[in-house]
């Protein structure tokens, strides 16, 4: 039960972060273009709100809803999740969304997606910063590699450690390494502790295919 509660709390905290950043994108661009934001709500609040407050001299009310499926910012002059159509019947005001140029309205609408994209870039950048791009060099694989029958017919043997192709050392096992092999004239391997050279036929790619 304790594990379930911890996982549930982690899920809610993660959703909260995503919602705040997404809605914060809409909020930031709206305020940048002097559009009034009437409400900033974390999670949805049909019928009632768990918590709300409005800072002094602020046009925006901040709240926390009880349904953790998203959130919203209520922007003046724009029909959104609140479905407030009464405001649209009133004369257009300079601080409303509908009174702004098309390019400003577009930025306000895509601001949430833009901030989510920037968040993704930040998260992956921090992952690379913390752990980097780690791999084992192909020359340091202790037990060598297994080869298919086509490669064995050319001269490779299970357990061979690939060293280089035409004198160019291999770095890692990927598409570039395979290209090096099929385009090389000679591949050097370490076999049973001794270096051995394997002549690569010109039609190796066709054989493999």
Chain segment 146-192, per-residue pLDDT in tens: 888 988 888 889 999 999 999 889 888 877 888 888 888 999 999 98
- Can you list the alpha helix ranges (DSSP code H) found in the chain? 2-32, 102-131, 149-154, 175-183, 204-208
Q: Are 21 and 114 in contact (CB under 8 A)?
A: no
**pLDDT of 123:** 92
User: How high is the pLDDT of residue 5?
Assistant: 87
Instruction: Divide the 209 residues of the chain into consecutive groups of 10 and give the mean pLDDT of each group.
Output: 84 89 93 91 89 87 89 82 62 83 92 94 90 78 87 89 90 83 90 89 83
Find the radius of gyration of the CA atoms of the chain: 30
Specify the pLDDT at position 137. 81
Q: Specify the pLDDT at position 81.
A: 52
For residue 1, what pLDDT is reported? 73
Q: How many CA atoms lie within 13 A of 103 on its CB side?
A: 0
What is the set of domains in the chain, with CATH numbers? 2-131 (no CATH), 138-208 (2.30.42.10)
Residue 184, token pair as written in the block: 């090389």
Instruction: Enumerate residues 6+ apart whose C-beta is below 8 A from 167.
Output: 188
pLDDT of residue 78: 79
Tokens read off for 110: 């895509």
Q: Token match 């890692």: residue?
A: 172
Question: Which pLDDT score is estimated for 8?
Answer: 85
92 is catalytic: no
Q: Rounded to a whole number, what is the distance in angstroms from the first to the last CA of the chain? A: 54
Query: What confidence score (pLDDT) does residue 25 get?
Result: 93
Question: In terms of pTM, does the model score above 0.75?
Answer: no
Phi, psi at 160, each rounded to 5°: -65, 140
Phi and psi at residue 146, to the nearest 5°: -100, 145
Q: Which of 2, 23, 59, 140 is catalytic?
A: 23
pLDDT of 57 reads: 85
Q: Are 118 and 28 in contact (CB under 8 A)?
A: no
Q: What is the DSSP letter of 209?
A: -
């Amino acid at each position: 039960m304790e594990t379930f509660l911890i996982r549930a709390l982690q899920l809610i905290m993660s959703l909260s972060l995503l919602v705040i950043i997404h809605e914060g994108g809409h909020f930031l661009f709206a305020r940048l273009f002097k559009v009034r934001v009437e409400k900033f709500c974390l999670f949805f609040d049909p019928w009632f709100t768990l918590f709300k407050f409005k800072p002094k001299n602020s046009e925006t009310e901040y709240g926390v809803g009880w349904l953790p499926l998203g959130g919203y910012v209520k922007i003046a002059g724009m029909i959104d999740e609140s479905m407030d159509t009464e405001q649209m019947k009133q004369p257009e005001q300079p601080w409303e969304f509908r009174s702004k140029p098309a390019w400003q309205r577009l930025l306000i609408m895509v601001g949430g997606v833009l901030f989510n994209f920037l968040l993704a870039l930040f998260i992956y950048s921090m992952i690379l910063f913390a752990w980097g791009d780690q791999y084992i060099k192909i020359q340091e694989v202790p037990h060598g590699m297994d080869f298919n029958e086509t490669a064995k017919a050319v001269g490779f043997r299970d357990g061979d450690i690939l060293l280089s192709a035409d004198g160019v050392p291999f770095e890692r096992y990927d598409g570039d390494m395979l290209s090096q092999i099929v385009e090389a004239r000679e591949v050097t391997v370490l076999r049973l502790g001794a270096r051995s050279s394997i002549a690569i036929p010109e039609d190796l790619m066709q054989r493999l295919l």
